[in-house]
Structures are given as C-alpha cells and as structure tokens.
Amino acid sequence: MNDQISVESNGLEHAEIQEVLGIAKELARQNKIIQPALLYKIAKRRLKLESETLLSIINLLLKNKILIEGSKLLKQEVLLNPYRVDIFRFIKTYPGVHFSVIRKKVFSEGGKTGSTGQFIWHIEVLMKFNFIKRIQVKNYSLFLSSDMDEELGIYYFLLRDRINRKIVIYLNNNEPIEQAQIPNKILESKGSVYYHIKTLEEYKVLLLEKNNDTGNKEVRLDQEKKELFIKISNDIENIKF
C-alpha cells in the first residue's frame, strides 16, 4: 500500500511510471493493442517492481487515460495527427459547437478531405483520451474541451444563436420588459422571438414573471449570471467563425 501511495503522490513523471509507459510505447510502435495483462507481463519481467506497485501504476495510467485498453494509441500521440489537432483547436476556440459545424469548418472549409466515418473516428479518439467531451442539448450533440464546465458550454451554444444574443444584449439594459414588446424592439418576428425566449427560459438564462398589476409576462435575465451571459455574447461577437 505504501508503494501505491508513493507512486500516485509523485505524479505521472515518476521514474517508475515512465518506465512502464516506455514499455507501452514499444507495444504501440509494434502496432499492438494495449492490454493491461500483456503490459503487466512484460513490465514484470523487465522491471524490478513489486506486483502491487506495478498494478497501481498500470491502473493510474488507465485512470488518467494515458493508456486506453484496446487502443493502439497513447495519449501523447493523439495530437500528432493533424486532423485531430484541428478538431481539438476548433472546439477549444468555439466551445459548444455541434457535430455538423465542426465537420464543415475543419473538413470542408478547412481544406482537409475525409469521409464522415473518418471524422467520427477522430472525434471518438479525442473523447476516449479525455481531450474533449460530448453533451446533448435538445437534438444537438455539442462538444467541449474536457476541462470546461458543461453548463458553460451550453451557454456558449445557446448564445451562438443570433436571435438569442439579440434578446440577451437588449435585456441587459432594458429589464424587466414585457415579453410582447421584445419582437419590435429587436426587429424579429413574434413567433421566432417567443420560441427563443422559451428555450432561454428552459436553460435558466431568462426568467419570465407575471406582472401582478398588468397580468402580462415580463422577461429578465438571471441576475446572478447576467455578467457571464454578456461576456459570452461579446466573446462570440468578437470571434465568429
């Protein structure tokens, strides 16, 4: 147990971890699938490590997704592929984008060629090794870098919509306001504005309250996150794809 604590407390740069990782790299270069049992067998034969320590190292590498069981790749090799680099950079720059947008911008407009199957493969590799994650919003599969909060990613997705941004930016200086007044104020159709307001309310960007005096619905931004919504809206305006 002491060996396990020592390995984990020293992090992934620990010499013994690097030795095991070196053997895993050899397997990958030989185009062999990473299997923990095989890795253990070879490392046990070559390295002077106690069984418990070796097992804890292999588990640590799997837990941190440095190795993926059944893969021929190691995490440090994932971004050596230019397709995956472009996909990852695009998602980092434009969080909350959905599948079809990434494929269009990276493949069609980015000058790269490839099938939908290839694109899906690269996305799945990035997810397996914890570079990116996927979340579902309505019928959309959205992608974020793995270190981004999912709620924040949803806000970026919602505010990438032009009408949603117009509503939020207008409300920033004009709240509360009756829902019925908003279409004329932002010069958009009533049906479209009401649909967008409903979506923004569903995800707690907007709050709808009944005015006790008039009986009409009034709209306001969530006050605790108001500054965040404006910041995101400004970020999107300044970095459009």
- pTM given for the model: 0.81
Structural domain boundaries, residue 13: 2-72
Q: Is the pLDDT of residue 59 over 80?
A: yes
- Domain with residue 164: its CATH number is 1.10.10.10
Q: Give the pair of three-digit tokens for residue 47.
A: 């390295």
186 pLDDT tier (thresholds 50, 70, 90): very high
**Chain mean pLDDT for the chain:** 88
- Name the β-bridge partners of 206: 221
197 contacts 167 by C-beta, under 8 angstroms: yes
Query: Is the domain of 169 the same as that of 208?
Result: yes
In total, how many domains does the chain have?
Answer: 3
Query: Is the domain of 89 the same as that of 34?
Result: no
Query: Is the domain of 167 the same as that of 136?
Result: no
- Name the β-bridge partners of 213: none
Domain stop point among 72, 93, 124:
72
User: What does the pLDDT average to over 45-53?
Assistant: 91
Instruction: Specify the pairing of strand 132-137 against strand 217-221.
Output: unpaired
- Per-residue pLDDT, 189: 96
Residues 6+ apart with CB under 8 A from 76: 66
Query: Is the domain of 144 the same as that of 84?
Result: yes
User: What does the pLDDT average to over 140-164?
Assistant: 94
Domain stop point among 25, 40, 72:
72
Q: Is the pLDDT of residue 9 over 60?
A: no
Q: Is the pLDDT of residue 171 over 80?
A: yes
Residues 6+ apart with CB under 8 A from 97: 90, 91, 142, 143, 157, 160
Domain stop point among 72, 102, 134:
72
